[in-house]
Chain A
Amino acid sequence: MKLLVCLSKVPDTTTKITFAEEGKRFDENGVTFILNPYDEWYALVRALELKEAHGGTVTVIHVGPSANDAVIRKGLAIGADDAVRIDATQSSSLFIAKQISAFVEAEKGYDIIFTGKETINYNRSEVGAMIAEYLDQPFISFANHLEINGSTATLDREIDGGTEVVEVETPFVVSAAKGMAEQRIPNMKGIMMANKKPIKVVPPVPFDEIAVPVFYELPPAKSGVKLIDADNIEELVRLLHEEAKVI
């Protein structure tokens, strides 16, 4: 089986978010970047498990500049066979999806393309759906379980208020949610091997950005907590009813 896993680079979950140049750009000063948890823990690990069970290869792909090679190496250290980096700095979902689908069309033969449920910085959940559309393939979003039998896959996916069990033939695109696999910590051997594995660098196909961020800002700060005495819960209920008007 030929498997492709889309990896994105995101600020660490504990990052204090600040913006520079009057909100024109995200301030990367002192920020630690990590591999997007959904891509790493669920998408990549499930792809590796499928390869271990059924044979094949796992390639990781990333759209970004060479400064992002560290997150790609992390993917290789966890066990991917090889890596592709599309050399571009643009970050709109449509741009990224266009690049990945153009690569897949040129390369051909991927049975399953994995993405994460969402990037934890952009919170879009778009890239997977867009790749699927460009490639005219089915898209199963928010899957938390994936089994494959020959060319038929059975997946559980999260829907609003429940779970859907679906069946689909390869090739398809899937976005991985919590539950699809368990996080793997790379071992020393994996980390050593990662430095020897190839990262193929591919130039981007031309594509105009049509959704551009104009500025960023922080949400208005909370005015501060109003503490209520533990012996006076009726006061809390009154405030929720009369002041906050939520009950």
Chain B
Amino acid sequence: MVLLFAEVQQGNFKKTTLEAATYAAKTAELLGVASVAIVLGEAENAAELGLYGIQKVYQVRHDHLKNFDNQVGAIVLSAAAHQLEASVIVLSHTSNGKALAGRLAARWNAASISGATGLPTLKDGVLHVRKGMFSGKAIAEYALKSEHKVITVMGNALQPLQHGALASVETLSLEVPSPKIKIKEVKRVEGIVPLPEAELVVSAGRGLKGPENWGIVEELASALGATTACSRPVADSHWRPHHEHVGQTGVAIRPNLYIAIGISGAIQHLAGVNNSKTIVVINKDADAPFFKAADYGIVGDLFEIVPKFTAAVKKLKA
């Protein structure tokens, strides 16, 4: 059986969970086994996982599960995996998913893949999974040779696929220890889609000259419904908040559209964004390295181009 850890964020499933559900269902199909999900705590739409091919949802409710803790999560999930006789656990490659996956692999003596970029294949009865390496500059295929396997699914690696009906939801009662980590405060960036989940990203670099010029970037982002990002020197100079910094030392993203404005395209910047489906580069220097990684490019002055770009987007949407 394939067991999905259906991560809940503020009472709901995010797109990353639905992607992982699709991945779990497809993996189960490949192996000819059932696909089930486990939800720790409350989710308003637990049965909806069925739409993505999950056959049954088990919900574990407990006071100790109010906040996610990876140590508690690993104990509960491995107990569930044992009870349900699962052979594969699938998680989303989120902040909490990664920590839980590592713990589970150790606890369950499972071969693990952190950040699978595609669906698994079977070769001579052995499950093979691909993952990105060198920040997206290469792909490695692994053979998972153990009885138990743990896979986290990279965001945007596949699209959630609706093909089933609502799943039945059952309560699973398991012992839940109390977490050793106390959560004092959660600060969320309100009102915008966080970068790791964003499908459209408008990003700007040092070419903007100063923080006072960001208005044109924000207007383009808002016309598109995109999230804003920036290069590292921009965050380091406090022109923009640190959570916007993308690249090797910042956030790694793989949106459908990445628009880079006044960013040279240094290798460390590309490391965080080169898995974007479509890349648009706006730069006045025709030799900027970013053009080599781009799908579409405009050579010219960003201060003239960006406002026109915004106007054209508004016209399309009107």
Contacts and interface: CB of A to CB of B under 8 A. Distances in A.
A133 B107 contact: yes
A5 interface: no
Interface string A231-247: 00110111111001011
Contacts, number: 265
A215 B101 CA distance: 23
Contacts of A127: 102
B181 A140 contact: yes
B247 to A, nearest CB: 10
A94 B166 CA distance: 37
A208 to B, nearest CB: 9
A146 B224 CA distance: 37
B298 A233 contact: yes
Contact of A165 (B115, B143, B183): B183
B102 A128 contact: yes
A126 B105 contact: yes
User: By DSSP majority rule, is chain B's interface helix, strand, loop, or mixed?
Assistant: mixed
B112 A120 contact: no
Interface residues of B, number: 96
B207 interface: no
Query: Is chain A's interface secondary structure helix, strand, loop, or mixed overall?
Result: mixed
A235 B304 CA distance: 16
Interface stretch (A49-57, A71-79, A155-163, A197-205): A155-163
A233 B297 CA distance: 10
Contacts of A184: none
B194 A160 contact: yes
B39 to A, nearest CB: 17
A223 to B, nearest CB: 8
A139 B103 contact: yes
Given A139-B71, A236-B312, A239-B296, A94 B142 contact: no
Contact of A247 (B186, B295, B298, B313): B313
B194 to A, nearest CB: 3
A232 B132 CA distance: 36
A15 B144 CA distance: 28
Nearest to A217: B139
Interface stretch (A62-70, A102-110, A166-174): A166-174
Interface in A194-226: 210-219, 222-223, 225-226
B49 interface: no
Interface in B293-318: 293-301, 304-305, 308-309, 312-313, 315-316
Interface of A: 11, 13-15, 17, 19, 37-38, 93-94, 97-98, 120-130, 132-134, 136-142, 154, 157-169, 172, 178-179, 210-219, 222-223, 225-230, 233-234, 236-241, 244, 246-247
Interface of B: 9, 14, 16, 69-71, 74, 94-96, 98-107, 109-115, 128, 131-146, 179-189, 194, 196-197, 199-200, 224, 242-243, 245, 248-250, 252, 256-257, 267-268, 271, 277-278, 280-281, 291-301, 304-305, 308-309, 312-313, 315-316
26 contacts: A11-B134, A93-B105, A121-B133, A121-B134, A123-B114, A125-B99, A126-B105, A133-B74, A136-B71, A138-B180, A141-B95, A142-B95, A161-B196, A161-B197, A169-B180, A178-B249, A178-B250, A213-B142, A214-B128, A214-B142, A222-B292, A223-B295, A225-B294, A225-B297, A244-B277, A244-B278
Given A14-B268, A129-B98, A219-B138, 16 more contacts: A17-B138, A94-B112, A124-B115, A128-B99, A129-B106, A137-B71, A139-B70, A160-B95, A160-B197, A161-B197, A167-B182, A225-B281, A228-B298, A234-B312, A237-B312, A244-B295
